[in-house]
Amino acid sequence: MAKVKGAIVIDYEKCKGCVICVAACPTSVIEMAKEVNSKGYNYAYPANIEECTGCNNCAIVCPDGVITVYRAKVEA
Amino acid sequence: MARELKLMKGNEAIAEAAIRAGADAYFGYPITPQSEVIEYLMAEKPHERTGKVVLQAESEVAAINMVYGAAGAGKRVWTSSSSPGISLKQEGISYIAGAELPCVILNVVRGGPGLGTIQPSQADYFQSVKGGGHGDYRLIVLAPSSVQEMADYVVDAFDLAFKYRNPVLILSDGVIGQMMEKVYLIEQRPRLTDEEIKQRYAWATTGKKDGTERRVITSLALKADEMEAHNIHLQKKYAEIEANEVRFEEFQCDDAEYVFVAYGSSARVCQKAVQLARNKGIKAGLLRLITLFPFPKAEIGRLTGQVKGMLAVEMSSGQMIEDVKLAVNGRIKAEHFGRFGGNIPTPDEVLYALETQIIGG
Amino acid sequence: MLAKDIIKPENLVYQKTKLMTDNVLSYCPGCGHGTAHRITMEVLEEMGIGDETIGVAPVGCSVLAYEFMNIDMQQAAHGRAPAVATGIKRCYPEKFVFTYQGDGDLAAIGTAETIHACNRGENITIIFVNNGIYGMTGGQMAPTTLPGMRSSTSPYGRDVNLMGNPLKMTELVAQLPGTSFVSRQAVHTPKHVRKAKKAIRQAFELQKQKKGTTFVEIVSNCNSGWKMTPVQANQWMEENMFPFYPLGDIKVPE
C-alpha cells in the first residue's frame, strides 16, 4: 500500500523562533534548536523528519513564511 | 479657433476649465465660498461628458486622501476648499508633497483665524507658501485675479504639477470665486487613457507590470540618511522651480517711482489705485504676482534700483510683506497696507496709504 | 525513503508565494501580521490578479506592508487608507484595490473614512487586523482593547467608565447597506488560517463581481504588547479575545 511521506525545509536564518509551528505539527516533527541563528533566535528544525506527513500545517501558520513543504508517495 | 465665451462665476469657470483640461477626478467637500465648484461639477455630469470622476467626500480630510490615491495612480486629480477646509487638508498635502504626487488644490480664501468669516481674505499666504503642513516642502502657488485666470491657471496648474510631480495650489479668494465675468474657455482636451498613463508615468501604481519592479508610493523613510537624501532631492526640485517658473505681470512700472506689490483681488484694487495716483501726478505702478512660490525675488530686487518705495497691499495683517522686505533687503522703503477679516481695501484707501506710509512717511 | 529524496522540485507542495518579497518581515516573532500578509498575497496569486491589484498600507506596525507585499502599493496617512483606496478605485474600477489596516488605524483615527467608504459601498476589500492594542508605538490602549485589559495607557486595566468601551467596527460596518461580505477570522492555527484565507478569497471574488465593500477582520495577537510568549498570546487570545470578538461570517451576500 502506498504511504505518503513528507519533508520540510526551514530557512533557519529567517526563523524567529516563535514556536507556533511546533504546536501546529500533528506528528511532533519540529523542535527548537539549542543553537541560535545569527539574529539570536533559537530556530525551529525538523528533529523527527521521518514522522513528517507533508501536511503543510507548520508552513501555513509560520508568520514569517520560512517553511517549504515536500510530499511524496512511497511504497510500503 | 474662436474660443467659447461665457459669463461665469470664478468657481464655475475653474470647474468647467478643469473638465476641459482633461482632469480625471475631483474629490471635494462643501464649504462657503467655494461650494459652487462641486455643485457645478455635479450638475455638469462630467462622468458622462468625459468620464471624469466627481465625488463628494465625508470630509476635507477624506477628500485630500482620495486625491492622494488617484494621483498616486497617475490620474489628473484635484480638490477645492476654503480656508478652514484647507487647514484640514494640510496633513494630506504634506504626504502628497513628500510622496511627490501631482495634483491641484484650489483655496478660495475666507477670513480667519478659526471659523472666521465667509467674506474674502488673503490671510492664508503663509499657509500656502511657507508650508502649512509638516516638514520641508513647497507648493507651487498660483494667484488668479480674474475669472478668466481661474479658468486659465487650472490648465497651467495641471501641467506644472505633472512637470515637477508636485502639488500646485491655486490661491484664490472669495471675490474671485464669487464674482461673474466673461471667460473664454479652451476646447475640450482628451483625458489620457489608462494605457497612456501606464506608458507615461512609470512611477504610478496602476498594477504591477510583468517582469518589472513593483511601484510604491510613500513618504516614509525610516533611515535618517535616506530621509535626508530625499529632502535634498526635494530642495533641488524646488530650486529648479524657482529658477524656471516665476511669473508676474507689471502695470505701468516702466517709469514708476513707487510700486504696489499685490496679487489676486488686491491687485485689481491696486490697478485702480495706480490710475488715481497718476491722475494726481504720482508715478505709481503695480507689480502683480502670479506665482507666490516661486516668489519673484529677482524682479523686486531689480525694481529697487528704479523706484523709491514699495507698498505691499494684501487682505491680511501683513504676510506677503515679509517676502517683499526680504527681496528689497533694506535698499528702499517697503511697507504693508491691508484690510482684513473679510474687508476689501478701496483704491482710495490704498492711494492714501501710499501717500502717507511711503511718499510722506 | 529519506528526507533528501523527498526534497525535490516535483514533490513541492508548499512554498512562500512569489507575491511576498524576500525581505525579512519587520514583525515580532509569532505576530499574526506575517500570516495575514501571506494569505492575502496567496489569494491574489491563486486568482491571478497580482498584476491588477493596488494595495494600501496604513500607519502602524504594518506601515511597511509595501516592503513585503510584492505588488503595487501606496502608503496612506494614519487612518486614511479607505479614502486613498476610494481615490484609486474610482479612477480604476476594473482594478482590484484593498486596504490593510490595524485597529488603531481603522477603528480610532480612521473611523470616519472606514464607515463612509463602507457606507458608499466602495468596491474595495478592507483587511482589518485587530490585536486590541497599539503595537507600533509600544503597547498603548486601542479602541479595541478589552474591558479590564492592561496596556501602557491603561496600566491598571481598561476602565470603561473612564476610557470608554471597545468598538466592534466589524459588527458596525455589517449594518451598512454598502457592505456585501463581512467576516471575522483568525490566523493562529492551521484550521483558522485556512478559514481566514477562504474569507479573503470570497472578499476578492465579490470585489470582482462589483458587489460593494468586503471587510475581513482578523483577530490577532500582539505578544510584545501583551507581554507574553507567542504561544501564550495565542492561548490568551482564544480565551479572552474570541468571546468578545466571536469568529465567523457576520454578513454574507444573499
Q: Could you say which of A17, A23, A71 has the minimum Cβ distance to residue C11?
A: A71
Cβ–Cβ < 8 Å for C186, C219: yes
Q: Could you say which of C13, C16, C35 has the minimum Cβ distance to residue A61?
A: C35
Question: Among candidates C64, C228, C251, C239, which has minimal Cα distance to C171?
Answer: C251
**B2, pLDDT greater than 80:** no
Provide the b/e sequence for C164-178 (b: ≥16 CB within 10 Å): eebbbbbebbbebeb
Chain C interface includes A33 (CB < 8 A):
no
**B135, pLDDT greater than 80:** yes
pLDDT at A76: 61
Question: Among candidates C8, C35, C12, which has minimal Cα distance to A54?
Answer: C12
Q: Is residue C16 part of a domain?
A: no
3-state secondary structure of B82: coil
Cβ–Cβ < 8 Å for B186, B219: no
Chain C interface includes B27 (CB < 8 A):
yes
> Which residues of C sit within 8 Å Cβ distance of A?
1, 3-8, 11-16, 20, 24-25, 27-35, 38-39, 187-190, 193-194, 229-231, 234
CATH classification code of A2-75: 3.30.70.20
Q: Could you say which of C24, C28, C193 has the minimum Cβ distance to residue A61?
A: C193
Per the prediction, chain B carries an average pLDDT of 97
What proportion of chain A, given as a percentage, has pLDDT over 70?
97
Cβ–Cβ < 8 Å for B81, B14: no
The domains of chain A are located at: 2-75
Q: Give C25's DSSP letter.
A: P
The domains of chain B are located at: 4-195, 248-359
Which domain CATH number covers C39? 3.40.50.970
How many domains are contained in chain C?
1
Q: How many residues would you count in chain B?
A: 361
**C77 contacts B65? CB cut-off 8 A:** yes
The whole-angstrom distance between C218's CA and the closest CA on chain A is 14
Residue in B with minimal Cα distance to C114: B62
Q: Where are the beta strands (DSSP E) in B131-238?
A: 140-142, 167-173, 180-185, 216-217
Per the rule left: phi > 0, alpha: psi between -120 and 50, beta: everything else, B307 is beta
Identify from C2, C4, C7 which residue to disrupt to test chain A contact, counting A C-beta atoms within 10 A and taking the largest count.
C7
Q: Please count the helices (runs of H) and the strands (runs of E) in chain B.
A: 14, 15
Interface of B with C in 84-103 (CB under 8 A): 91-92, 95, 99
Chain C interface includes A51 (CB < 8 A):
no
The ipTM assigned to this model is 0.96
- Interval B37-58 mean pLDDT: 96
Architecture of B4-195 per CATH?
3-Layer(aba) Sandwich (3.40)
d(CA B359, CA C9): 89
Per the prediction, chain C carries an average pLDDT of 97
Q: How many interface pairs between A and C have CB atoms less than 8 angstroms apart?
A: 103
Q: Which grid coordinates belong to C240?
A: 479572552
Q: Note the pLDDT tens digit of each residue in B152-177.
A: 999 999 999 999 999 999 999 999 99
pLDDT at B108: 98
pLDDT at B131: 85
Describe the crossing of helices B60-72 and B83-98 by its angle, rounded to 10 degrees: 30
**C206, pLDDT greater than 70:** yes
Residue C113 with chain B: CB contacts under 8 Å = 58, 61-62, 65
Distance of CA B117 to the CA centre of its chain: 21
Q: Which grid coordinates belong to C136?
A: 507600533
CATH classification code of B248-359: 3.40.50.920
Residue in A with minimal Cα distance to C35: A63
Q: How many interface pairs between B and C have CB atoms less than 8 angstroms apart?
A: 129
Q: Could you say which of B70, B194, B214 has the minimum Cβ distance to residue C71?
A: B214
Q: Could you say which of B25, B69, B99 has the minimum Cβ distance to residue C83?
A: B69
B with A: touching (≥3 Cβ pairs within 8 Å): no
Residue A59 with chain C: CB contacts under 8 Å = 14-15
- Interval C82-94 mean pLDDT: 98
**C13 contacts A71? CB cut-off 8 A:** yes
**C77 contacts B92? CB cut-off 8 A:** yes
The whole-angstrom distance between C36's CA and the closest CA on chain A is 8
Chain C interface includes B68 (CB < 8 A):
yes
Residue C231 with chain A: CB contacts under 8 Å = 18-20, 23
Nearest 10 degrees: Cα torsion C199, C200, C201, C202: 50
d(CA A23, CA A25): 6
The whole-angstrom distance between A6's CA and the closest CA on chain C is 7
pLDDT at C1: 77
Domain hosting C36: range is 27-251
The whole-angstrom distance between A15's CA and the closest CA on chain C is 8
Task: Give the pLDDT band of residue B211 (cuts 50, 70, 90).
Answer: low
pTM assigned to the model: 0.97
pLDDT at C204: 98
Q: Note the pLDDT tens digit of each residue in C125-181.
A: 999 999 999 999 999 999 999 999 999 999 999 999 999 999 999 999 999 999 999
Q: Please count the helices (runs of H) and the strands (runs of E) in chain C.
A: 12, 10
**B220 contacts C63? CB cut-off 8 A:** yes
Question: Among candidates B352, B342, B279, which has minimal Cα distance to B123?
Answer: B342
Residue in C with minimal Cα distance to B218: C75
Cβ–Cβ < 8 Å for C33, C61: yes
Residue C83 with chain B: CB contacts under 8 Å = 57, 61-63, 65-66, 68-69
**A60 contacts C193? CB cut-off 8 A:** yes
The whole-angstrom distance between C134's CA and the closest CA on chain B is 19
Q: Is the dihedral of CA B157, B163, B164, B167 positive or negative?
A: positive
d(CA B226, CA C18): 27
Residue in C with minimal Cα distance to A56: C14
Contacts of A14 (CB under 8 A, 6+ apart): A64, A66, C24
**A63 contacts C35? CB cut-off 8 A:** yes
Q: Give B75's DSSP letter.
A: -
Residue in B with minimal Cα distance to C21: B214
The whole-angstrom distance between A62's CA and the closest CA on chain C is 7
Q: Is residue C4 part of a domain?
A: no
Q: Is residue C93 part of a domain?
A: yes
Full DSSP string of B21-57: TT--EEEE---TT-THHHHHHHHH-HHHHT--EEEE-
Q: Note the pLDDT tens digit of each residue in C24-62.
A: 999 999 999 999 999 999 999 999 999 999 999 999 999
d(CA B46, CA B39): 12
Q: Note the pLDDT tens digit of each residue in B102-113.
A: 999 999 999 999
